């Protein structure tokens, strides 16, 4: 932050120093008023800077949300595959594992998804997954088919754990530090620049100025609204897990 502040101060100082030296050398002509070359150049550069910052503030969360959405699909598919593997286990072990998987998905959809809006996962969710892993690890089965099913089930639980870990990372994801603040600052400067340059719009000239300010405000609000993967307009919904719930009834029960 100190380096950034010093860089800004140096740039502003360089502008004033150049203006002073050129004035002393009597080079160039006075450039005054809102329609001056300086004002026009500064206004276009400021608009470009806002668009650059705004684009980054939109693209980064959009990309993160898309990646998080794909990860939920991966996690839900691992759960469905685990449910299929549990069906090949003898009852009552397979039935108990399938019930645990249904409870886990129900917990994620009904409880944990609301916690993820705060940027974290529930510790209870981790505990449920650890209990499921311990439950399968401790199963005593006999026969090649049952052993294969148990091994496959453990592999799918590992996939679930890895995908859940990535979901925890996605829940904490946020745009780069200072990006949202820079979006606000550039938007305010873009809205106030005509007045800073000396323009005093009257009557109908206030309409485009007000429209520009309104659009800038909407843009800034949008960047804040989509900054979190599991909250806001672009939030990732638990659609993948509800789809898994719909698949469970068509998978055979353990016997």
In the predicted model, residues of the chain with pLDDT beneath 50 are 3-4, 7-8, 11-12, 14-16, 18-19, 22
Residues 145 and 8: their CA atoms lie apart, in Å, by 69
Cα separations in angstroms, 22 against 10, 33, 83, 201, 241: 18, 19, 77, 31, 67
Domain limits of the chain?
Answer: 41-250
Contacts 24+ apart (CB under 8 A), 50-53: 50/183, 50/186, 50/187, 50/189, 50/190, 50/216, 53/179, 53/182, 53/183, 53/186
| Count of residues making up the chain | 255
List pLDDT tens digits, range 74-119: 999 999 999 999 998 888 888 999 999 999 999 999 999 999 988 8
Quick one: pLDDT at residue 82? Answer: 94
- pLDDT for the residue 36: 63
The pLDDT value recorded for residue 4 is 46
pLDDT value at residue 254:
73
Residue 79's pLDDT is 96
Total-model pTM = 0.78
pLDDT digits (tens, 9 = 90+) for 177-196: 788 888 888 888 888 877 77
């Amino acid at each position: 932050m100190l380096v950034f502040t010093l860089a800004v101060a140096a740039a502003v100082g360089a502008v004033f120093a150049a203006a002073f030296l050129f004035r002393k050398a009597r080079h160039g002509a006075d450039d005054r008023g809102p329609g001056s070359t300086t004002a026009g150049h500064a206004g276009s550069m400021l608009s470009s800077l806002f668009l650059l910052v705004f684009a980054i503030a939109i693209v980064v969360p959009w990309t993160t949300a898309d990646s998080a959405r794909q990860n939920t699909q991966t996690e839900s598919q691992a759960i469905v595959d685990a449910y299929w593997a549990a069906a090949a286990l003898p009852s009552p072990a397979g039935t108990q594992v399938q019930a645990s998987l249904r409870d886990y998905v129900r917990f994620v959809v009904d409880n944990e998804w609301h916690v993820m809006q705060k940027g974290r996962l529930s510790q209870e969710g981790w505990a449920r997954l650890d209990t499921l892993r311990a439950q399968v690890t401790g199963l005593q089965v006999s026969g090649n088919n049952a052993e294969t099913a148990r091994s496959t089930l453990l592999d799918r639980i590992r996939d679930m754990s890895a995908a859940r870990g990535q979901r925890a990372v996605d829940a904490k994801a946020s745009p780069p530090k200072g990006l949202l603040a820079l979006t606000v600052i550039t938007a305010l400067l873009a809205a106030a620049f005509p007045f800073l340059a000396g323009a005093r719009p009257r009557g109908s000239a206030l309409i485009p100025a007000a429209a520009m300010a309104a659009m800038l405000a909407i843009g800034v609000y949008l960047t804040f609204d989509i900054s979190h993967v599991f909250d806001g307009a672009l939030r990732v919904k638990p659609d993948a897990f509800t789809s898994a719930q719909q698949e469970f009834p068509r998978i055979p029960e353990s016997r």
